[in-house]
Structure 1
Amino acid sequence: MAITLNHEPHVEELARRTATFVREVVVPEEEHHADALAADGERLRLQLQEAARQAGVFAPHVPARYGGHGLDMRSRAVVFEEAGWSLYGPLALNIAAPDEANMHLLDAIATVDQKERYLRPLAAGQVRSCFAMTEPSPGAGSDPSALATRATKVSGGWRIDGHKWFTTGADGAAFAICMARTSGEPGDRDGATMFLVDADNPGIRVGRHLDTIDQSFVGGHCEVVFDGCVVPDEAVLGEVGAGYRYAQVRLGPGRLSHCMRWLGIARRAHSIALGYAAHRRLFGSRLGDLGMAQGMIADSEIDISAARALIMQGCWDLDTNGPWKQSTSIAKTFTAEAVWRVVDRSMQICGGLGMSGDVPLSRFLREVRPFRIYDGPSEVHRWSIALSALRRANSDGATPA
């Protein structure tokens, strides 16, 4: 089946309205707030989301039955990219991590009652959520099988004990989706289960905010401790022992959503550099007339276009149940590094201006750098991509030249 790059008229219109909304409403707010925490992030979130509702661009990914536009992955790509023009654009549209991926997961595997209790208010922007999987060393991280948090069966439910960290959005979240081991030992590649844990459960405690170079996530990146946290059987999300399989349901689309959003920031950084290169004069000519500047501009154009194409391939595979694991890993790895290159080149083109606070490039650089680690470091994705290619070669009967 051929991939079509054309979007339906209503998707193109939503993308145009999103672009206008982000530039006219969200960017001015971004310019007034250095980071989401210092800006009273919850107030800012509610303010921007109400504005997005009024503009008719809120929740493009959410099924219509929960008040959204119900876009598939391919249609989301163009809208999410426009939202990503501002660091706070995804927050305004309610498509920011981790909530966006949690909505996808809940819609895919939650029970009817769980959807009403957790998904509906999350989709409406009434609450926030977090996803508690990553643990301090030697626990789960790039290798999720190292999961050490344990859930033990008790009468009528489960007792969860463990230490999580880098739990994005935990401070102020209404609930957590916690990954805990219900069987086996750390290192085993099965035995994990997902649990829905309300924030008012006395067995869950949100600890310190990690001091990270990125500051645009409302609720920060936090340590979370589960200490004798008892939840009922109804808190199990999906099937007991199927947590790793469900994590893939969340991570595939989540990787691409990150790519879409950060591509918007790359485009904005590139736009700033283009504007500067077109007007800055030095050595008797415009900066943009110099060959070295043109080379950087061309490389950024190539990176943006290539990333967009790889994202679209991954979206197509997800929408058509194709071989999405390989294509989403490729898209994530390339886009994370391409976005960094584009922002870095933009700073270089702008020279001293790029280092200053007069343009947001240095802030963008701090925000995009962690993407090469979040949702799987580039090195882990490369390892997975290579293993898949080698398995394919073996199955095809490849022989040495």
Structure 2
Amino acid sequence: MSTAHPAPATAHPEILDRMRDFIDGAVIPAEPVLRAGGPESAEVMTGLRAQAKERGLWALGHPAEIGGGGLPFLDYALVNEIIGRSWYGQAATGTISTQDSIMLHLDGTAEQKRRWLAPMVTGDVLPSVAMTEPEVAGSDPTLIRSTGELVDGEWVVNAHKWFTTGASRAGFTTVFVRTEGPEAAPHRAISAILVPMDTPGVRIDRVLHTMGSTAGDHCEISMTDVRVPADSLVGARGEGFVVGQRRLGPGRIFHAMRWLGQAQRAFELMCERANQRFAHGSLLSEKGQIQRMVADSAAEIQAARLLTLDAGRAYDLDGRATVQISLVKFWGAKVLHDVVDRAIQVFGAMGVTEDTPLEQMYREARYARIYDGPDEVHRMVVARRLLADPSRVPWR
């Protein structure tokens, strides 16, 4: 297997330039209105989505055969770095459903693809995934208590899930439930079942307030004797973990690239503030402590970027890149948090207000250390694999 590294910085440079122009020139200036919510916010987002389609920047990571842009994986990861500069970038460019379109493209039935894939690509339908439960640790999916039982040609689903992101706006959710008995191996006991959100018995209990906001649209949902056809399985019965990892693996690289976009923007804001703010006899940029913050942030962003690009390269080679993905998941989240934290410190009190995007970035940075696997689990994955075989270090 070749270990040659591609030159990702030159991949589709024209698309990268156009995406940067769109995010910085159209999406970021609209953030105050988008953040405020309400009818005007929805109208502005509709206009941004139309612009993205007109500019050829819509759904670039969705497979071409289902109407998406069909960018190669690593190229799409680079696009995600730019999209990530704004929290609203995913919605504005139709990339928010990419993980789910990939999942259905790989594991969905012909009917699931017909009904859901095309509307996802056009942005007319949003997906959601119901995996974690309030009663058990979300970091260990073998503990899932929700059940699916095959009765008279239908799956009867009973579930209590939370942090089902986007469920209140979604057309469907992919719910992970226990379908096999106690004799099944823990990682062969869970199945993924596609449930339209308008199915009788599906209830949104609440939209969770997280760190003072409902902006993430994280929902607690219940399913009581929900019935869907037997062919509603996504993937094979008992293979929910396989389906989940096919969705989560590339998604973690997408997250890490978006975090880089956020960190880079926070870095730029920090430098701009340091060059303008005068205190205690000099500009902040002339003070050694601030210079150290700038230098440390630059080094960490570049290290995280190279790790993330290497994870994309490795995923292109073997479709797994387990060690590399876990590395960038916990390291990228830490870098995002630390860089945004320093930027807030340089801004002082202004940094924790809505006058800058930093306070929202900070909330997202804290979430990043939990969702799609907490830091501790990814560190454990890396350590176990390398302790078992140190020759598998990702830099070889």
TM-score with structure 1 setting the length: 0.91
Out of 254, 272, 285, which is 1:275 matched to?
272
**Residue pair 2:190, 2:239 contacting (<8 A) in 1 also:** yes
Indicate if the aligned counterparts of 1:84 and 1:263 stay in contact, CA closer than 8 A.
yes
Aligned residues: 390
Aligned equivalents of 2:336, 2:46: Cα separation in 1? 28
8 Å CA contact 1:33, 1:39 repeated in 2: no
Moved more, 123-132 or 105-114: 105-114
**1: CA distance, partners of 2:255 / 2:167:** 19
Report the secondary structure of 1:61's partner residue: coil
Aligned partner of 1:204 in structure 2 is 202
Judged with a 3 Å threshold, the aligned counterparts in structure 2 of structure 1 residues 207 and 35 are, in CA distance, closer, same or farther, namely: farther
Distance (whole Å) between structure 2 residues aligned to residue 380 and residue 178 of structure 1: 22
Q: Do the aligned partners of 1:158 and 1:231 also contact (CA within 8 Å) in 2?
A: yes
Comparing 370-379 and 38-47, the one that deviates more: 38-47
Question: How far does residue 5 in structure 1 lie from its aligned partner after superposition?
Answer: 2.8
Q: What pairs with 1:58-69 in structure 2 (closer than 5 Å)?
A: 58-69=58-69
CA distance in 2, matches of 1:286, 1:375: 41
- The structure-2 alpha-carbon separation of the partners of 1:292 and 1:395, relative to structure 1 and needing over 3 Å to count, comes to closer
Cα deviation, residue 298, structure 1: 0.6
Whether the 8 Å CA contact 1:160–1:230 is kept in 2: the answer is yes
Work out the CA distance in 2 between the residues paired with 1:40 and 1:197: 32
* AA at the equivalent of 1:309: L
User: What do residues 165-213 of structure 1 show as CA deviations (whole Å, max 9, x unaligned)?
Assistant: 1100000210111111110349923211111111111021111011102
Whole-Å Cα distance in 2 between the matches of residues 256 and 336 of structure 1? 11
- For residues 395 and 282 of structure 1, the distance between their equivalents in structure 2, rounded to whole angstroms, comes to 50
Task: Mark the runs of 5 or more structure 1 residues left unpaired by the alignment.
Answer: 397-401
2:4 alignment partner, one of 2, 5, 29: 2
| Paired residues of 1:169 and 1:217 also in contact (CA < 8 A) | no
1:82 aligned residue: 82
What do you get for the CA RMSD once the two structures are aligned?
2.2
Cα pair 2:234 2:243 within 8 Å, conserved: no
Does residue 168 of the first structure (1) align with residue 168 of the second (2)? no
Identity of aligned residues (%): 36
3-state SS of paired residue (2:220)? strand
Deviations 1:320-343 (A, max 9, x none): 116511110000100001000000
3-state SS of paired residue (1:162): strand
Cα distance in 2 for partners of 1:291, 1:275 equals 16
Aligned CA distance change for structure 1 residues 41 and 384 (closer, same or farther; 3 Å): farther
CA shift in 2, pair 1:395/1:303, >3 Å: closer
The aligned residue for residue 117 of structure 1 is 115
Instruction: Tell me how far 1:15 sits from its aligned partner.
Output: 1.1
Give the conservation status (yes or no) of the 8 Å contact 1:177–1:196.
yes
Deviation of 1:391 after TM superposition, in Å, equals: 1.5
CA change 1:395–1:359 in 2 (3 A) is: closer
Which of 99, 102, 114 in structure 1 is aligned with 2:100? 102
Query: Which one of the candidate residues 204, 221, 224 is aligned to 1:224?
Result: 221
Q: Distance in 2 between matches of 1:187 and 1:35?
A: 48
CA shift in 2, pair 1:170/1:5, >3 Å: same
Aligned AA (2:33)? H
In the alignment, is residue 57 of structure 1 matched against residue 95 of structure 2? Answer: no
Which secondary structure does the structure 1 equivalent of 2:28 belong to?
helix
- For the residue of structure 2 that corresponds to 1:328, the secondary structure is helix
1:276 to partner: Cα distance = 1.1
Deviations 1:203-250 (A, max 9, x none): 2111101110275856x1111111101110121111111111111101
- 2:92 alignment counterpart: 92
Instruction: Give the letter aligned to residue 174 of structure 1.
Output: G
Partners of 1:93 and 1:233 lie apart in 2 by: 34
Structure 2 equivalent of residue 32 of structure 1: 33
Give the 4+ runs in structure 1 shifted more than 3 A: 6-9, 38-47, 214-218, 393-396
- 1:399 matched to which residue of 2? none
**Whole-Å Cα distance in 1 between the matches of residues 36 and 361 of structure 2?**
12
1:367-378 superposed matches below 5 A:
367-378=364-375
